[in-house]
Copies of this chain bind each other. A is one copy, B any other.
Amino acid sequence: MNELRWDPTLREWVAYATHRQDRTFLPPAEYCPLDPTEPGGFPTEVPRESYDIVVFENKFPSFVLDAREPDEPGSALTPTAPGRGVTEVVLYSDDHGATLAGMSERRIRNLVEVWADRYRELGAREEVAYVFIFENKGEAIGVTLHHPHGQIYGYPFIPPRPKKELEAARDHREAHDSCLHCDLLAEEHADGRRIVHKGEHFTAFVPFYAHFPYEVHVYARRCVPSIAGLDEDERRDLARALKRLLPGYDALFGFSLPYVMVMHQAPTGGRDHAGVAHFHVEFYPPNRTAEKLKYLAGSEVGAGAFIVDALPEATATELREAVEEAKR
């Protein structure tokens, strides 16, 4: 059952996918469904003895293309809709113990190619309004499978957070005739204290208004609406930026740092978002120290107001040092 219900108080869709309740939950390593299928072994999701990067449809999908009309008719106030869309799994490697941070720049470069390809392909579907590329990493963030993988959701609507960002950027464009993200990036470059890595085409920084202590945004320097619009050099430099940042994250506390990674970019179909959407990657690690997590509780979930314990200038300094340390 894949169904959408409208929340008229927050004016957003909520997606229901009841079969997900039974999804595979932290299986022992020898039963990982994302491993390659060993000769004579149990059949995993990938019927091959080895693989490079694999994309397949999520077996416990939040959205499906052929979702039927909802059983619940809803009301004028609370309409419902079929949960039509696509949810894909992207396996980064056939090595169960690998992480994105430890992969070669070359493999990450290939992954960028896969992400760009999926953005184009899913974005071309009329059911999909927004292609959302993300990774949930680490048990602290609630991953149910440890095998290195990310996900791609093709939402049938523009989700609330990117929508808010796009509205802000559109208003900024109208008021100042410039791109909000370009202007923010210019301020970060001019200030410099929150820059974590500055490559040729991408800059990684802790935003002045970070919601998480070690939050990092990776901005394309050029105002390009989506990952599909990046040229060869930019794709290579994005891989390099991730290959700088992620080992730095792991060096920060001396363990593989959990995080949520998300990509914000142009919605697909509908109006033109050039000069408004500006491709960038956002990382939210849940740790506020090596031992302590930042929980999203009353103020964050019930009021929507983030309270942060550490200043971006301080955490950016730590992260810069960690990135340097990881290089050595």
Contact = CB atoms under 8 A, between A and B. Distances in A.
Interface of A: 1, 5-18, 20-21, 25, 62, 72, 74-75, 77-78, 130, 132, 134-136, 141-142, 151, 153, 155, 157, 159-165, 168-169, 172, 180-181, 183-184, 187, 207-211, 260-262, 264, 282, 284, 288-289, 292-293, 295-299, 301-311
A195 to B, nearest CB: 15
Contact of A14 (B62, B141, B159, B210): B210
Contact of A20 (B7, B260, B262, B307): B307
A302 B264 CA distance: 9
B309 A141 contact: no
A183 B151 CA distance: 38
A199 to B, nearest CB: 22
A78 B159 CA distance: 24
A302 B134 contact: yes
B10 A164 contact: yes
A296 B296 contact: yes
Contacts of A299: 62, 132, 134, 153, 159
Contacts of A10: 161, 164-165, 168
A303 B160 contact: yes
Which of A13, A14, A72, A159 has most chain B Cβ within 10 Å? Answer: A14
- Which of A6, A172, A207, A305: most chain B CB closer than 10 A? A305
A16 B297 contact: no
B74 A307 contact: no
15 contacts: A8-B172, A15-B305, A15-B308, A16-B310, A62-B299, A72-B208, A77-B183, A132-B302, A161-B304, A164-B304, A260-B298, A260-B301, A260-B302, A262-B302, A296-B301
Contacts of A8: 168, 172, 180, 184, 209
A282 B260 contact: no
Contacts of A296: 296, 301
A25 B13 CA distance: 37
Q: Which 7 A-B pairs have the closest CB atoms?
A: A142-B295, A262-B302, A160-B304, A161-B304, A134-B298, A159-B303, A7-B209
